[in-house]
């Protein structure tokens, strides 16, 4: 078994989309990453995060039933769990944050469980860069792959610390607008090159409904998003992608570019389920057969034979 260490928020979300709205439901980057990575064989996963004692036991039971190690999930007595609420616009590609309550995240000091200090793959979900850095520093053995997910918020308010983390990771996953902001380049080809010079060997640029690109110095590969009848709720799609990506790498233990290609296909495949229902609902109830069948749809969507003349 290979080990996957997941760092990120475990949270409450309240979501409004053109299709409806929810009260406080289960959310958080580490939650989505964990649920997504749980679809791969041969991987032991653990989440490092923090919650308040307002967090329902049933959510913990559900995550534990997915064989996710929660010994690194700290519960702050009398504390309140991180809460985010947002409203999506009609195009589903943009959203407004209505409310953010950091709560227990404000003083979060991550502690990596002893058994995961030698994890094969570390997936740093979106969090303050210093928390992400704190996790890397606790590893006693150099991981095969460290993957960083981040967002524009940290570029705006903690760029120096973010660049410190970027320098220490193998893969960065960000969206197209963030890649442009971070690099100062509009062309994604140029943006990837600039970001790669900051440290990461592989740069993954997520374009939401338009798919995802992965670059290394010589190569580029693209996986589309599956065209769907309806997107109900994009929340967690990026984290689900990251969980599929890192879960597949952990499952195979292969960090070649060729395997990265497969990893972004798996990430896109799993993300295509996430958006079909509100919150984590679809990811909580996903069969191996559904995942395999949709991979076949991905192949049909993208694979062709062509003769050169």
Q: Which positions touch a copy of itself (CB under 8 A)?
A: 41, 90-91, 186-190, 207, 210-211, 213, 219-222, 224, 227-231, 261-262, 265-266, 288, 292, 295-296, 298-306, 308-309
Compare residues 44 and 54 and give the one whose CB is closer to a copy of itself.
44
Q: Least Å distance between CB 257 and a copy of itself?
A: 10
Euclidean distance between CA atoms 105 and 4, whole angstroms: 22
Give the sign of the dihedral formed by CA 214, CA 295, CA 88, CA 61. negative
Euclidean distance between CA atoms 207 and 214, whole angstroms: 11
Compare residues 153 and 222 and give the one whose CB is closer to a copy of itself.
222
CB-based contact 226:272 (threshold 8 Å): yes
CA angle 153, 156, 160 (to 5 degrees): 110
Compare residues 93 and 285 and give the one whose CB is closer to a copy of itself.
93
Q: Least Å distance between CB 199 and a copy of itself?
A: 21
**Collapsed DSSP state (helix, strand, coil) of residue 96:** strand
- Among left, alpha and beta (phi > 0; psi -120 to 50; other), residue 44 is beta
Q: Least Å distance between CB 224 and a copy of itself?
A: 5
Q: Tokens representing 167?
A: 């320098």
Compare residues 6 and 203 and give the one whose CB is closer to a copy of itself.
203
Phi–psi pair at 174, nearest 5 degrees: -140, 165
Compare residues 97 and 187 and give the one whose CB is closer to a copy of itself.
187
Q: Least Å distance between CB 90 and a copy of itself?
A: 7
Q: What is the DSSP letter of 30?
A: H
74-112 per-residue burial string, b: 16 or more CB within 10 A, e: under 16:
bebeebbbbbbbbebeeebeebeeeeeeebbbeebebeb
Compare residues 91 and 156 and give the one whose CB is closer to a copy of itself.
91
The residues, ordered by sequence, that sit 6+ positions from 148 with a Cβ below 8 Å of its Cβ are: 124, 132, 165, 166, 169, 171, 172, 173, 200
Compare residues 201 and 207 and give the one whose CB is closer to a copy of itself.
207
Q: Which residues partner with 76 through β-bridges?
A: 52
Q: Least Å distance between CB 68 and a copy of itself?
A: 19
Q: Least Å distance between CB 295 and a copy of itself?
A: 6
Closest CA to 87 of 101, 78, 77, 97: 97
Q: Least Å distance between CB 97 and a copy of itself?
A: 23
Compare residues 142 and 304 and give the one whose CB is closer to a copy of itself.
304
Q: Least Å distance between CB 253 and a copy of itself?
A: 15
Closest CA to 203 of 175, 223, 224, 184: 175
């Amino acid at each position: 078994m290979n080990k996957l260490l997941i760092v990120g928020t475990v949270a409450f979300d309240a979501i409004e989309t053109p299709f409806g709205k929810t009260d406080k439901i289960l959310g958080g980057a580490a939650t989505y990453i964990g649920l997504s990575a749980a679809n791969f064989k041969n991987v032991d996963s653990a989440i490092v995060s923090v919650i308040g004692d307002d967090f329902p036991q049933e959510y913990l039971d559900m995550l534990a039933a997915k064989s996710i190690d929660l010994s690194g999930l700290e519960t702050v007595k009398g504390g309140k769990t991180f809460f985010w609420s947002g409203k999506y616009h009609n195009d589903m590609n943009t959203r407004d944050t209505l409310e953010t309550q950091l709560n227990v995240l404000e003083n979060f000091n991550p502690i990596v469980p002893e058994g995961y200090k030698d994890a094969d793959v570390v997936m740093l979900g979106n969090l303050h860069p210093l928390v992400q850095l704190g996790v890397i520093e606790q590893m006693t053995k150099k991981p095969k792959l460290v993957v960083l997910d981040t967002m524009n918020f940290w570029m705006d308010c903690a760029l120096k610390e973010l660049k410190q983390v970027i320098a220490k990771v193998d893969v960065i996953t960000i969206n197209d607008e963030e890649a442009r902001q971070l690099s100062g380049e509009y062309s994604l080809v140029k943006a990837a090159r600039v970001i790669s010079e900051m440290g990461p060997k592989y740069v993954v640029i997520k374009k939401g409904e338009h798919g995802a690109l992965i670059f290394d110095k010589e190569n580029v590969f693209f996986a589309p998003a599956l065209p769907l009848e309806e997107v109900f709720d994009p929340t967690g799609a990026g984290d689900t992608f990251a969980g599929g990506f890192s879960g597949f790498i952990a499952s195979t233990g292969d960090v070649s570019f060729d395997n990265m290609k497969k990893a972004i296909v798996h990430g896109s495949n799993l993300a295509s389920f996430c958006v079909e229902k509100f919150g984590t609902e679809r990811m909580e109830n996903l069969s191996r057969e559904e995942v395999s069948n949709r991979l076949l749809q991905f192949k049909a969507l993208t694979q062709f034979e062509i003769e050169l003349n």
